[in-house]
Chain A
């Protein structure tokens, strides 16, 4: 069963505006971690941000923040002040306990000048 769902195949945002990329997950394990990665057209996978299931506060890293809503099992990525260089594929991933780490299908973000 698909455990990580990214429902937006593609998103557009105007430069300098904020954008939210959706991610929902399914798990019965109380201990899990949620990750977001960026994959530019060059192909490398770049770690952006991490949220642990027991973390009380939403994670932030510079212009990236994770809107963690545990009861709704969602972990949306918010990118503030979008830049042209933010155009890329974005993947949400989950790791349950000490188990495997699985990825969603990804969202392609295009930043318009």
Chain B
């Protein structure tokens, strides 16, 4: 298995633009988590899905953030409009599997 695949790896965008982050989980994993990592706040859980259904989105910081999982193979995290304070590394993780919850390589987002 190729693991959890996130795209893009890096994204630089201007304030006010829409940003879409993508995640392909490992096949057969029931859960998918989206996290944001910053120096100040550490790893924050944004939202998680079970069998494609959003279970808890209480970590989504504002209405500017939205996430979808239209099928078991794909999830998106959208920020519209983006702001400089959204700059962070965004991870998705899927599981459970023999290796616990597997993280993708992350998307480093910079909003200028």
A-side residues, CB < 8 A to B, are 35, 37, 43-47, 50, 91, 98-106
Is B93 a contact partner of A100 (Cβ separation < 8 A)?
no
**With A100-B33, A101-B101 as given contacts, are A43 and B106 in contact (CB-CB < 8 Å)?**
yes
Closest residue on chain A to residue B91 by CB atoms? A45
Residues of A within 8 A of B101 (CB): 35, 47, 101
Residues of A within 8 A of B106 (CB): 43-45
Minimal beta-carbon separation of A40 from chain B (angstroms)? 12
- 9 A-B contact pairs sorted by A residue (CB < 8 Å): A45-B93, A100-B33, A100-B55, A101-B33, A101-B93, A101-B101, A102-B45, A103-B45, A106-B42
Is A50 a contact partner of B42 (Cβ separation < 8 A)?
no
Is A100 a contact partner of B91 (Cβ separation < 8 A)?
no
Residues of A within 8 A of B7 (CB): none
B-side residues, CB < 8 A to A, are 33, 35, 42-43, 45, 48, 50, 55-56, 59, 89, 91, 93, 99-103, 105-106, 108
Closest residue on chain A to residue B99 by CB atoms? A47
How many A-B residue pairs have C-beta atoms within 8 angstroms? Tell me: 44
Is A43 a contact partner of B89 (Cβ separation < 8 A)?
yes
Closest residue on chain A to residue B30 by CB atoms? A98
**With A105-B42, A106-B42 as given contacts, are A50 and B89 in contact (CB-CB < 8 Å)?**
no
Residues of A within 8 A of B55 (CB): 100
Minimal beta-carbon separation of A7 from chain B (angstroms)? 14
Is A103 a contact partner of B100 (Cβ separation < 8 A)?
no
Minimal beta-carbon separation of A41 from chain B (angstroms)? 13
**With A103-B42, A105-B42 as given contacts, are A47 and B100 in contact (CB-CB < 8 Å)?**
yes
| Most chain A CB atoms below 10 A, which of B100, B103, B105 | B100
Minimal beta-carbon separation of B38 from chain A (angstroms)? 12
